[in-house]
């Protein structure tokens, strides 16, 4: 009797623990399943049922069992399962990830661990699977973000380098076009970041439209306003056509938020295997060519040649030399006269930085000023130029031999909220009246509400005169122009130099003079190279003239001599 009771108790306990184990089995967050050596189901929990969209009873029904390879819905996953089960039965535990795409359930990525179990009934494979779909999606997002530009969605520099380095010689030639949009910085400064972002997206759309016209051609964004187009195989031989399309498109007016912009382009080109021995070197070569294209105003495109990379190393040397020159105060300031064309007033002067490098001779101002801006040295350079210009001009102002001195300002100075106070202290130290100083700013900076918010208005309130330099090259709104606290416009030399041979240039000069006078502003023409242009400007009622034909920029001693030779200072003979 006792034995019978003990047996019943054991059976009851066994049933209880079996139910308990089954409950745990079914409540697990992971999918658990058991396969035989034929990959057919012996058991599975509810998680696996839901993943496959098939009940366990149907998966394990006698004579109806189907191998898991028939249920996963993905050919690659089926092959993985076959290999994994075979290896597990050979005694090697397996760990792998695969994609489940069963016909009756959702798609998901799963991570699976498999082991072999030997029982009296034979060998079995026990598998535990975890849903890693969210993790993979997160990793995919992280990978995408690390390889793509967040604003435009274009693949970035890291993606570009990887694309090039995985290129094989048998894949054919490569052409890389490094593209810079020269006037985008002006757009950014003048119109703000939001509109600038929209312009970048529009540029992206245009470049992608061009790339779609050629097979195996892709667009990448490096940074800021720099893009790269890569063409492979047959398309690489079309680099001239692609480059021409880019130049033509970026030369066309771009309408954005009611504003018409002309951006322009500079392009550097490198080819594999013509220019470099390894595809991974193409970007460096194209960027070196781009730097050369940006230095040469006569062309918008430059092909790579080996000496350019050497000049890239020289750039670093020159950068260090410039830093030392600023620290040593060996940057000089020359003064160029700005003369009145109709006898009124005295000569004005413009202060221009000059760098006489001990080993290279005179370095182009455009070169070293751009170098200072790109390397963060422009503030130190600007304050050095301001100090020297004021020191040289102060005696001439006190002697009433000149009317004023003009100094160019970088946008980086105008973003400094303390600039006006420091400048006021400096001119006071030389005993100079604020109205005797003319600060020249570019058209895009003058139009920028952000710049006005910081410094432009406070400088005008100080009493300093403000001039818009290179007028006509930007995108001024007449309504905004009327509100600007400026007293002078300077016509860009690109319109003045050839105005007698180009009707369009002369029309721009005439319109600018009339515009300035209608607004009560003085007008200055710069870049005058001959007497005929000077005479024509006088006939057009231009107020002031500046250029080599009148007098080149001179060191202070020679400038004083030039002033001494003028019978009537400030009047053109």
Q: What is the pLDDT of residues 255-273, one digit of tens each?
A: 766 677 778 889 999 999 8
Q: What is the pLDDT of residue 297?
A: 47
Domain 151-305: CATH superfamily is Reverse transcriptase/Diguanylate cyclase domain (3.30.70.270)
Structure tokens at 302: 């430059």
| CB-CB contact of 174 with 242 (8 Å) | no
Minimal CA–CA distance to 45: which of 56, 35, 54?
A: 56
Domain ranges of the chain: 15-135, 151-305, 313-565
What is the model's pLDDT at position 5? Answer: 55
Instruction: Specify the pLDDT at position 205.
Output: 93
Backbone angles phi, psi at 487, to 5 degrees: -120, -5
CATH architecture for the domain at 15-135: 2-Layer Sandwich (3.30)
pLDDT, tens only, 301-323: 888 876 566 565 666 777 888 88
State residue 568's pLDDT score: 43
Alpha-helix runs per DSSP H in 262-337: 282-295, 307-327
pLDDT of residue 109: 95
Residue 570: its pLDDT value, please? 38
pLDDT at 569: 37
**527-557 tens-digit pLDDT:** 898 999 999 999 999 999 999 999 999 999 9
- The residues of the chain scoring below 70 in pLDDT are 1-14, 16-18, 121, 185-192, 256-258, 295-299, 306-315, 344, 374-375, 415, 443-454, 472-483, 567-573
Q: C-alpha distances in angstroms, 490 versus 251, 366, 461, 481, 514?
A: 24, 18, 21, 14, 13
The three-state secondary structure class of 274 is coil
3-class SS at 552? Answer: coil
Report the pLDDT value the prediction gives residue 476, as an integer from 0 to 100.
52
Predicted local confidence at residue 97, as pLDDT: 94
| Neighbouring C-alpha atoms within 13 Å toward the C-beta of 175 | 24
The whole-number pLDDT of residue 478 equals 56
- What global pTM score does this model have? 0.51
Q: Helix, strand, or coil here: 380?
A: helix
User: Residue 438's pLDDT is what?
Assistant: 94
pLDDT of the residue at 418: 81
Which pairing describes strands 522-525 and 174-180: parallel, antiparallel, or unpaired? unpaired
3-state SS class at 213? coil
**For residue 444, what pLDDT is reported?**
56
Query: Fold match between 15-135 and 313-565?
Result: no
Beta strands of 193-327 (E only): which ranges? 217-223, 226-232, 254-256, 259-261, 266-272, 301-303
Residue partners of 77: CB distance under 8 A and separation at least 6: 98, 99, 100, 101
Does the N-terminal peptide bond of residue 376 adopt cis geometry, omega within 30 degrees of 0?
Answer: no
User: How many whole angstroms separate alpha carbon 374 and alpha carbon 451?
Assistant: 19
| Residue 374: predicted pLDDT | 63
- Cα torsion 418, 459, 197, 257 to 10°: value is 160
CATH architecture of 313-565: Alpha-Beta Barrel (3.20)
């Amino acid at each position: 009797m006792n034995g019978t009771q003990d047996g019943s108790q054991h059976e009851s306990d066994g049933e209880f623990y079996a139910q308990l184990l089954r409950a745990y089995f079914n409540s697990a967050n992971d999918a658990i399943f058991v396969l035989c050596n034929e990959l057919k189901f012996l058991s599975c929990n509810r998680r696996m049922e839901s993943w496959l969209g098939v009940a366990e009873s149907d998966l394990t029904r006698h004579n109806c069992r189907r191998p898991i390879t028939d249920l996963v819905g993905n050919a690659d996953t089926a092959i993985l399962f076959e290999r994994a089960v075979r290896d597990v039965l050979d005694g090697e535990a397996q760990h792998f990830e695969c994609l489940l795409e069963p016909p009756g359930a959702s798609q998901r990525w799963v991570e699976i661990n498999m082991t072999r179990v030997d029982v009296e009934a034979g060998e079995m494979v026990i598998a535990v699977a975890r849903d890693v779909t969210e993790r993979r999606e997160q990793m995919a997002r992280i990978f995408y973000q690390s390889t793509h530009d967040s604003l435009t969605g274009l693949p970035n520099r890291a993606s570009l380098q990887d694309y090039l380095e995985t290129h094989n010689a048998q894949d054919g030639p490569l052409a890389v076009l490094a593209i810079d949009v020269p006037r985008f910085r002006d757009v950014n400064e003048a119109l703000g970041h939001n509109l600038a972002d929209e312009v970048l997206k529009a540029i992206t759309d245009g470049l992608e439209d061009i790339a779609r016209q050629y097979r195996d051609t892709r667009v990448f964004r490096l940074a800021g306003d720099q893009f790269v187009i890569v063409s492979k195989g047959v398309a690489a031989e079309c680099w001239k056509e692609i480059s021409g399309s880019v130049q033509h498109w970026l030369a066309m007016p771009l309408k954005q938020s009611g504003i018409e912009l002309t951006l322009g382009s500079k392009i550097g080109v490198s080819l594999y295997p013509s220019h470099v021995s390894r595809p991974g070197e193409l970007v460096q070569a194209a960027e070196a060519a781009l730097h050369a294209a940006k230095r040469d105003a006569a062309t918008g495109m430059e092909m790579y040649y080996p000496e350019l990379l050497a000049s890239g190393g020289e750039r670093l040397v020159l950068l260090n030399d410039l830093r030392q020159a600023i620290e040593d105060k060996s940057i000089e300031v020359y003064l160029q006269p700005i003369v009145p064309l109709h006898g009124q007033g005295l000569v004005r002067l413009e202060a221009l930085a000059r760098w006489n490098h001990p080993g290279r001779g005179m370095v182009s101002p455009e070169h070293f000023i751009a170098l200072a801006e790109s390397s963060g040295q422009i503030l130190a350079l600007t304050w050095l130029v301001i100090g020297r210009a004021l020191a040289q001009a102060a005696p001439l102002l006190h002697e009433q031999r000149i009317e004023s001195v003009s100094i160019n300002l970088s946008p980086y100075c105008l973003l400094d909220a303390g600039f006006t106070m420091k400048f006021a202290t400096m001119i006071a130290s030389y005993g100079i009246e604020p109205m005797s100083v003319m600060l020249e700013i570019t058209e895009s900076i003058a139009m920028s509400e952000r710049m006005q918010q910081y410094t432009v208005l406070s400088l005008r309130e100080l009493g300093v005169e403000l001039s818009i330099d290179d007028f006509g090259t930007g995108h001024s709104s007449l309504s905004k122009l009327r509100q600007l606290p400026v007293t002078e416009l300077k016509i860009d030399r690109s319109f003045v130099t050839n105005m007698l041979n180009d009707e369009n240039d002369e029309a721009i000069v005439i319109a600018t003079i009339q515009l300035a006078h209608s607004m009560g502003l003085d007008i200055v023409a710069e870049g005058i190279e001959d007497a005929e242009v000077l005479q024509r400007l006088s006939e057009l009622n231009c107020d002031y003239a500046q250029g080599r034909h009148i007098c080149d920029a001179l060191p202070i001693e020679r400038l004083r001599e030039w002033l001494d030779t003028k019978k009537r200072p400030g009047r053109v003979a």
